[in-house]
Structure 1
């Protein structure tokens, strides 16, 4: 088969591009959108009612990590992308996977992509290249990642 999938993503959008090593053809096979990823941080919390304080006095729960609405949105989007990549692998649509994402979102992907899928990751590019057309993306990515 020798197919490689490239996931080009950030917290708001993602594309999956299939690269055929035999004929060098690149095709976009999926496109994903996360509208919440484009909202300013305050907009993500506007529709929520105010929370009542759960602690007594000035004490806070030390075991509760603070996760921003933007981080929750990015985590949910990363989980959705991980599920789509896992389905593609189960359907044997690719053998190798390249991840292209800014460092923070790449971290979210690592949290939500399982170990079996991570074994197929042959390279990573820590940059936001989501707005590039496929032809320019092809020029920017190191060819060593695709072979």
Structure 2
């Protein structure tokens, strides 16, 4: 019996499912929320942007950060998900991993995963399936739950 975990995620929430057989419904293991992404950036920033001094003279200029607050929060959420998946991998709770996430968030998630975890991903779907019911998610990922299906990527 091959155990497959299915992670369905976007930048603000994620759901982790387990499947033991293709013809059985998915069993939800855990749900993750990133409430900071939904909050407005104004709640987390100060009234004035940071400033720097001119190299010559007394002038000061405002500077914009290199990464947005939303990007930082998304990366933090991706790191949380990667840690949960890595914990499951090291505890041998699954053999195969299917990830369904929009391409941008999938890239953020890949950036937070170590190579052994990235290698355990057997299939990816670059779509946002978080709001679907478990039955609808199962319909979308069922063909990818077979152990004989080679590593694939569905756009």
Q: Name the TM-score class by shorter chain.
A: 0.7 to 0.9
Query: How many positions carry a matched residue from both structures?
Result: 142
TM-score of the two chains, using structure 2 as the length reference: 0.80
Offset of 1:33 from its aligned partner?
0.5
Q: Hey, what's the Cα distance between the residues in 1 that align with 2:39 and 2:75?
A: 15
Q: 1:101 to 1:44 in 2, by over 3 A?
A: farther
- Structure 2 residue 78 is matched with structure 1 residue 85: no
Q: Hey, what's the Cα distance between the residues in 2 that align with 1:71 and 1:31?
A: 21
3-state SS, counterpart of residue 99 of structure 1: strand
- Structure 2 residue 17 is matched with structure 1 residue 20: no
Offset of 1:25 from its aligned partner?
3.8
Pairwise CA RMSD of aligned residues?
Answer: 2.5
Offset of 1:43 from its aligned partner?
3.1
| Counterpart residue number, 2:130 | 130
| Counterpart residue number, 2:115 | 115
Offset of 1:26 from its aligned partner?
1.5
Answer yes or no: is the 8 Å Cα contact 2:53–2:60 preserved in 1: no
Offset of 1:59 from its aligned partner?
9.2
Offset of 1:66 from its aligned partner?
1.6
3-state SS, counterpart of residue 52 of structure 2: coil
Answer yes or no: is the 8 Å Cα contact 2:7–2:17 preserved in 1: yes
Q: 1:15 to 1:51 in 2, by over 3 A?
A: same
Answer yes or no: is the 8 Å Cα contact 1:2–1:22 preserved in 2: no
Offset of 1:75 from its aligned partner?
0.3
Structure 1 runs of 4+ aligned residues shifted over 6 Å read 57-61
Q: Hey, what's the Cα distance between the residues in 1 that align with 2:92 and 2:86?
A: 10
Answer yes or no: is the 8 Å Cα contact 2:52–2:62 preserved in 1: no
Q: Provide, for residues 40-60 of structure 1, a one-character-per-residue CA deviation record: whole Å limited to 9, x for no partner.
A: 3x3353357642326646999
Q: Provide, for residues 55-102 of structure 1, a one-character-per-residue CA deviation record: whole Å limited to 9, x for no partner.
A: 6469999xxx82111110000000000000001111111000011111
| Counterpart residue number, 1:51 | 50
Offset of 1:37 from its aligned partner?
1.7
TM-score of the two chains, using structure 1 as the length reference: 0.84
Answer yes or no: is the 8 Å Cα contact 2:52–2:61 preserved in 1: no
Gaps of 5+ in 2: 147-155
